[in-house]
Chain A
Amino acid sequence: MSLTVQNLSKSFNGHVAVKDLSFELTKPGVFAFLGTNGAGKSTSIRMILNMLKKDSGTVLWKGRELNVLEENIGYLSEERGLYPKYNVLEQMYYFASLKGLKKSEAKQSIDYLFDRLKINEYRKKNAEQLSKGNQQKVQLAAALIGNPEMLILDEPLSGLDPVNADLFKDIIREQRDLGKYIIMSSHQMQTIEEFCEDLVLLHRGEVVLQGNLNEIKKSYGRVNLSVKADSEFLDIAEECGLTVVQHTPNGTDFKVNNEAQAQELLKKMLEKNINVVTFDLREPSLHELFVEKCGGDAVTESEVGANEN
């Protein structure tokens, strides 16, 4: 069982929204789908789910063209919605019926999910009476109803408080451990690093980074250096040819060309009896990779609008 996305492309009125997107999920797990606002993530997801016609490309699931109406796929969209005036429980039964569940199966599934998401007390309320976080929980329950084989979660954690974010993470972890194929988009890079082994990073509709996260990081090497000391050392860093990236309360971040350059700085600081508090030479974080690939050329609001139309 695998998901293969090949050469997906989409344009709106001559504006390229997604260009030649390809990736593959060969084993269960969480796949990160990253990009700036308007980079083409939601458009790609809609094409994968066949809500939006593709200009070109194919989406294969279990070796054949994905027909979303015939497969059991859970989807949590970026811009969430429930019927505001309708009872939450009735909406859940409705969604379950659309997934082809019998009433008894739906009841079992809803009872479990409401219990797991701690929203049992809201089942009789109208959606508009729930807080945004609780509405989000109901929608996650709707995505999970019927035990889908593949889950597509578009920004599942946005707007959640830390407690509920942890609850969502636990559930995503459970789903991963159950052998589900999960595509998750998020702007919380730390979360992505917690879950995802593989990723694709889109910028202006094009793939700018793709592959296994650990391998990508390794390929960059340990070139990020954070240093904190009791006294001034920036002149020494300059002597060693280091470039300051930023100053933070935790010290100063440098970009080094190689590990030897960092070691030279440490050696010189010690020679001058500077008390080193922190000296951290590490691979780039996903956040840093993201900013490096997309940071200098963010998509404007008008471009986001053009992508949607």
Chain B
Amino acid sequence: MKTKGWKNIFAFTFLQQIKTKSFIISTTVIAIIVALIAATVNILPAILLEDELTKIEDTLEGDTEAFTVEKLYIANETPLDLKFTFTTATMGITPEKIDSSAVEAKINELAETTENAMLAHITMTDGYLSIDSYYSGTNSTIDESDCNSVLNLMSTQLDIQYLSSLGLNADQMSTVVKGVSTSLLQAGDEPVSLVDELVNMLVPMIASLILFIFIFSYSQMVAQSIAIEKSSRIMEYLLTSVSPLSIIIGKILAMCSVSLMQFLIFVAAGAVGFLASMPFGIFAKIDDIVSAVSESGVGIEAQNVINDIMSAFSSVNIGTLVILIITFILGFLVYALIAGLAGASISKMEDLSAAIQPMSIIGVLGFYLAYMPQIGNTDGESNPIAIIARYIPISSPFCLPSAYMLGQMTLVEVIIALAILLACVIALALIVAKVYEHIILHTGDRLKLSDMLKMSENKKKTESK
């Protein structure tokens, strides 16, 4: 069997590769960096929103001292009999009704007072309700965000009471209170938030860069490994036990596994970093934030940050991961097969950089095809170059997964692109299988592709004689 022994070559190459100091150090360092980045995504918002989170905590614990609004004056000019509830468990505010004629005087009083107080002036004009509110001046220690929380809560309760007075039941009120979401877009455009804009541009750029680094560097190692065996003449010894085809299969699969393993280590490090940071991160407080927002209106900002982060990762799922892994493997095979030929075409290590130069040009070209169209592409629109790059085998490994993740490609389009990539792998594998065994023991000057094919043809003719 022509492929006998490939498993031994695979196992040896894999083990030796993961035992090298460079692999251990680079994997450890990068995994730590990835874990720190993942932890930062969790911890940083918690640090930036520390004051708000403290208030959420205090609010839920009924700690009214931390809540700076101590007094609430309500001037109701509407015909409604309004009642606002601020429980001790939430804010502990005791509202005090005042006459609407005293509003001006109260505003002046608030401007000078040291008391942390708020005035809510509720009016109704042509059936429209409004709350104009004022809070104590600079002599007080009142916090504007606390006033906003009170206002949010009052607004919600006012809506409910008004709708109730109109005769709506609980479900109807719930529907109305949720409000009507509005947006203004030019026809043909998709709605894009700031987070979406960043995701649209940065995810494809970062993904193509990471995939390029992994695929390209490990492919080069295939060339290097074969060149070492050729230049040190180990190859001759190996060929008494295994075929050239077994050697290249074992090596390519080993390098592919090493790179994939390293990639998954980084993914796991990210997950560990995120989970380990939970006690200190914003996601640990997600339940508290939701409760606080619904109960008292405190924590709106924190909830928005969480929603933004979750929205950015919403398209990461098992399907995306499977497509990422398949693309990674096929992309790696394209470059590793080219690298295998490059490594076999030389007999001296000093010729290696020259031998892999054509592969470097192809790789860099493929990378730029995938990377450049994403610069400034914040709206997720696919320009023609980006679309073409997703189907060209030298560039598709670097851009296909992110395009699918961001919804820029349908599943059918992904399957077509993968089929093209697979066809390229098969074609390259056939060329390598045909040429490799004829050039593996070549010594002397570096071979060009035309020389390799010529040698292969000559051998074929000889064999058929």
Which A residues have a C-beta under 8 Å from some C-beta of B?
46, 49, 51-53, 55-56, 68-69, 73-75, 77, 79-86, 90, 94-95, 97-99, 139, 142-143, 305, 308-309
Which of A81, A85, A97, A308 contacts B237, CB < 8 Å? A81
In the complex, are the beta carbons of B234 and A309 less than 8 A apart?
Answer: no
CB distance from A59 to the nearest CB of B (A): 14
CB distance from A49 to the nearest CB of B (A): 6
- Bound together, the chains give a CA A143 to CA B241 distance in angstroms of 11
CB-defined contacts of B443 to chain A, threshold 8 Å: 308-309
In the complex, are the beta carbons of B8 and A53 less than 8 A apart?
Answer: no
**Given known contacts A77-B233, A83-B232, A308-B443, is B239 in contact with A49 (CB within 8 Å)?**
yes
- Bound together, the chains give a CA A308 to CA B229 distance in angstroms of 17
CB-defined contacts of A98 to chain B, threshold 8 Å: 5, 8-9, 238, 241-242
CB-defined contacts of A143 to chain B, threshold 8 Å: 237
**Given known contacts A53-B463, A83-B232, is B441 in contact with A95 (CB within 8 Å)?**
no
Interface residues on B, range: 20 to 34
0 or 1 for each of B238-269: is its CB under 8 Å from A? (1 = yes)? 11111100000000000000000000000000
Which of B233, B445, B459 contacts A81, CB < 8 Å? B233
In the complex, are the beta carbons of B237 and A77 less than 8 A apart?
Answer: yes
A-B contact pairs, 5 of them (CB 8 A): A51-B240, A73-B240, A81-B233, A98-B9, A309-B443
CB distance from B288 to the nearest CB of A (A): 55
- The answer to the question of B448 belonging to the interface, with a C-beta cut-off of 8 Å to chain A, is no
CB-defined contacts of B11 to chain A, threshold 8 Å: 97
**Given known contacts A49-B239, A94-B8, A99-B241, is B463 in contact with A80 (CB within 8 Å)?**
no
Which of B5, B20, B232, B240 contacts A68, CB < 8 Å? B240
CB distance from B12 to the nearest CB of A (A): 4
In the complex, are the beta carbons of A51 and B236 less than 8 A apart?
Answer: yes
CB-defined contacts of A74 to chain B, threshold 8 Å: 240
In the complex, are the beta carbons of A309 and B238 less than 8 A apart?
Answer: no
**Given known contacts A82-B234, A83-B234, is B240 in contact with A75 (CB within 8 Å)?**
yes
0 or 1 for each of B213-248: is its CB under 8 Å from A? (1 = yes)? 000000000000000110111101111111100000
CB-defined contacts of B240 to chain A, threshold 8 Å: 49, 51, 68, 73-75
In the complex, are the beta carbons of B241 and A69 less than 8 A apart?
Answer: yes
In the complex, are the beta carbons of A81 and B234 less than 8 A apart?
Answer: yes
- The answer to the question of B183 belonging to the interface, with a C-beta cut-off of 8 Å to chain A, is no
CB-defined contacts of A55 to chain B, threshold 8 Å: 462
0 or 1 for each of B293-310: is its CB under 8 Å from A? (1 = yes)? 000000000000000000
- Bound together, the chains give a CA A153 to CA B8 distance in angstroms of 25
CB-defined contacts of B4 to chain A, threshold 8 Å: 69
